[in-house]
Chain A
Amino acid sequence: MTLDLSIIWPALLAGLLVTATHVPLGIQVLKRGIVFIDLAVAQIAGLGVIVADWLGYEPHGAAVQAAALSAALAGALLLNWTEKLWPEVQEAVIGVTFIVAANAAILLLATNPRGAEHLKDLLIGQILWVNPAELPLVALVSAVILALWFGFGERAGRIGFYLLFACAVTVAVQLVGVYLVFTTLIVPALATRRMMRGRMAMSYALGACGYALGLALSLVTDLPPGPLIVCTMTVLGIVAVPLISRQAPA
């Protein structure tokens, strides 16, 4: 067996970029108790892509990116508004938004011969198809998101959070798919929930190790990398929980 690193490194870099933006956002998502927001926003971004495709725009073109981002931002503004209006049922509103966006996508794709593939791609993604040429732009967008997030901090407020979240998820979903985005967002934040100090560093370490180990396992086990990364990161998170609670101050 040959260890062909030229296959691995674009995928690993993509994973690390997604980790970079999603770990701090994930901690916030968990704090707000709106865990399924990324599914909703990702699904709305996907719906934007499908509508653009339906209108006849070239896949992966600039128009499609613009459609995905506008749809996600519109979705984020909608959810920001519903949280202001009915904070007590925000999680339910997010759930309904996700289901409606997902089913609207099925309706739009019902007459599209590539429909099933589109839907599968959106969910599972294929981290190995990451084109190295698209990574510098992703890195730039991630840096801007992180600079705004840490720069504004609490002052970003609810709307700042929703808008940055929409940008981060739109970029990430097209790189690695919904399942990996959800895992990267929630698992590190959940595993380190009780940490007082160093939570961010520990979360980053969990995310990065999950991607590195999952990709390495895919090389030796002949299994697809996406689901392996999801499972690896979750196992690492479960292993980390008792270690963390032992060192946590009483």
Chain B
Amino acid sequence: MREVGALEPKPGLPPSTAHLSELLEQLKRGPAKAVVRAAYNEPRAAEWLAERARIPAVMVPFTVGGTDNAKDLFTLYDDTLTRLLAVAK
């Protein structure tokens, strides 16, 4: 797995217009496989980028309890991998 870019490069601060513009331009040149967000992130930003860059958005549980399936450390990784593999095909 390789990080191509970040939606919110400064944690906690909303991204600037210039940054998003660059990110979209970059994804146009070399599309990423997916936009990944943690379960506690608002879906709005990831969906915004997914729609514009025409790549899928995927939510991963981040920690035990992040999704209904992530019940312990094993199912956390199972669920994370299932979700990532579903969009990485």
Contact = CB atoms under 8 A, between A and B. Distances in A.
B18 A128 contact: no
Contacts of B39: 113-114
Interface in A1-53: 1-4, 6-8, 11
Interface of B is mostly: helix
A224 B42 contact: no
Interface in A104-139: 113-114, 117-118, 120-121, 124, 126, 128-129, 131
- Size band of the interface chain B makes with A: 20 to 34
Contacts of B51: 131
B42 A4 contact: no
A214 B40 CA distance: 30
Interface in B15-30: 15-22, 24-25
Contacts of A129: 44-45, 48
A12 to B, nearest CB: 11
A129 B15 CA distance: 10
Q: Which of B40, B41, B47 has the most CB of A within 10 A?
A: B40
A3 B8 CA distance: 19
Interface string B1-39: 000000000001111111111101100000000000001
A221 B41 CA distance: 26
Given A4-B21, A4-B24, A223 B16 contact: yes
A8 B24 CA distance: 13
A222 B52 contact: no
B42 A121 contact: yes
Classify chain A: how many residues form its interface, as a range. Answer: 20 to 34
Contacts of B40: 113-114, 117
Interface of A: 1-4, 6-8, 11, 59-60, 113-114, 117-118, 120-121, 124, 126, 128-129, 131, 215, 218-226
Interface of B: 12-22, 24-25, 39-45, 47-48, 51-52, 65-66
22 contacts: A1-B21, A2-B22, A4-B24, A4-B25, A7-B17, A7-B21, A8-B17, A113-B39, A117-B41, A120-B12, A126-B45, A128-B14, A128-B20, A128-B48, A131-B48, A218-B16, A219-B18, A219-B21, A222-B16, A224-B13, A224-B15, A225-B14
